[in-house]
Amino acid sequence: MEQSYIMIKPDGVQRGLVGEIIKRFEQRGYALKGLKIMNVQRHLAEKHYEDLSSKPFFPALVDYIISGPVVAMVWEGKGVVATGRKMIGATNPLASEPGTIRGDFAIEVGRNVIHGSDSVESAQREIALWFPEGVTE
């Protein structure tokens, strides 16, 4: 079954959005297969976003992700990668439709609350990176 790596970023945790975000994925019909709160080592944040390492915002992005605890999750179900991205909304929250997570809770691209895998292949890479111990069956 398809899985996606979903991560509530430090601003989302600090602002108390963990329950709201989990509720949305549960209510849509997805199954939670892995969940942990963790402080992120710099090398892990750099590895996660390695495709963006040449971007001018990369250092600020890594600093953001390691600025406080994140909630790392694996969600499973039909079409979870693409539907999860739709539920999250556009990268820049000002372009995110109301009703999406970023469209309801964010206005800054550099504080956009949540990450979602952008393809099934990315999801497999990210789940292996963030959950080397594995997730539930």
**Closer CB to ligand ATP, residue 76 or residue 118?**
118
Q: How many degrees, rounded to 5, is the angle at CA 31 between CA 46 and CA 66?
A: 20
- Examine the residue annotation and report whether 115 is marked as an active-site residue of this protein: yes
Q: Does 79 bind ligand ATP (CB under 6 A)?
A: no
Place of tokens 């372009």: 95
Q: Does 109 bind ligand ATP (CB under 6 A)?
A: yes
- Torsion, Cα 14 60 40 29, to 10 degrees, reads 60
Q: Does 112 bind ligand ATP (CB under 6 A)?
A: yes
**Closer CB to ligand ATP, residue 26 or residue 51?**
51
Q: Does 57 bind ligand ATP (CB under 6 A)?
A: yes
**What residue 59 binds from Mg ion, ligand ATP, none (CB within 5 to 8 A, per partner kind)?**
none
Burial 25-39 (b: 16+ CB within 10 A, else e): beeeebeebbbeeee
* Nearest-approach distance from CB 48 to ligand ATP, in angstroms: 8
From residue 25, give the alpha-carbon distance in Å to each of 32, 53, 54, 122: 8, 30, 32, 19
**Positions marked active-site:** 115
Note the residues at the interface with ligand ATP (CB under 6 A): 52, 57, 61, 91, 109-110, 112, 115-116, 118
